[in-house]
Structure formats: C-alpha cells, structure tokens
Amino acid sequence: QVQLVESGGGSVQSGGSLRLSCAASGFTYDYRCLGWFRQAPGKEREGIAIIDSDGSTVYADSVKGRFTIAHDNAKNTLYLQMNSLKPEDAAMYYCAAGDGRCAGSRSLTHSYGMDYWGKGTLVTVSS
C-alpha cells in the first residue's frame, strides 16, 4: 500500500526556517515526479515545487530563492527546505508523487500526474 507521510511542520517566526520531510512506503521515489503543494485556509491549493527524475526542478515564483526541494533515494524521503519564511507561507503543506515523470510546469500548476498524496503537515508563521 502506497503511503506518503509528511513531517517537520510547526510554528516559526517570520524570517525563520523549517525543513519538511515526506517519507514514502509501498513504493520508491525513483523515476517519479515529486512535489510539494500547500493550501491556506480559504485559498486554493498551490503548487510550490516539483522535482523530476532527472533532478530538474520547478518552483513557484512566490518561493523561488527561498525554498529548495530535494530527495534522498536511499532514505526514500522527499524534503522541502524553507528559508526566510513569511506569514503568507503559512498553510498546510502536502507532498505528492506521480507514477511517471513530471509533465513540465503543469505538474506544478495543475498537479498533473500527481497520483499519490500525503495528509499534510501544518506550517504557521508569525510576524
């Protein structure tokens, strides 16, 4: 059974950092599109970063230069390093994985090809 479990969320002051993790079970991250998404109360889900099987990445403009997506195949874990956090970054963060490679930026903007989702980890940022 495929399962993605996020961890690392919490409360941080503006300007602080957090690292989110997403552990997979039931499959491996090899040869898949992987991503992080978030949803704030009253807002639509937003794609913030994806990484393809060749290591290429795409970031939302809102996090570019502040967030870094990476994965460790040996640990079967996906990460999101978040620096210089702002109050507007507060949201529930979800990791996702697809059965194949990313479909370009559509995997970020429309969750295209994302077949598996975690249940989320909450990030709050105080000003």
pLDDT digits (tens, 9 = 90+) for 75-111: 999 999 999 999 999 999 999 999 999 999 999 999 9
C-alpha distances (whole Å) from 76 to each of 23, 61, 95, 102, 103 are: 6, 27, 13, 18, 22
Q: For residues 6 and 126, what is the distance between their CA atoms, to the nearest angstrom?
A: 21
Strand partners, 24: 4
**The predicted structure's pLDDT at residue 42:** 95
Structure tokens at 16: 């602080």
**The predicted structure's pLDDT at residue 92:** 98
Instruction: State mean pLDDT over 8-37.
Output: 95
Q: Could you read off the pLDDT of 27-54 as tens digits, one per residue?
A: 888 889 999 999 999 999 999 999 999 9
**The predicted structure's pLDDT at residue 83:** 98
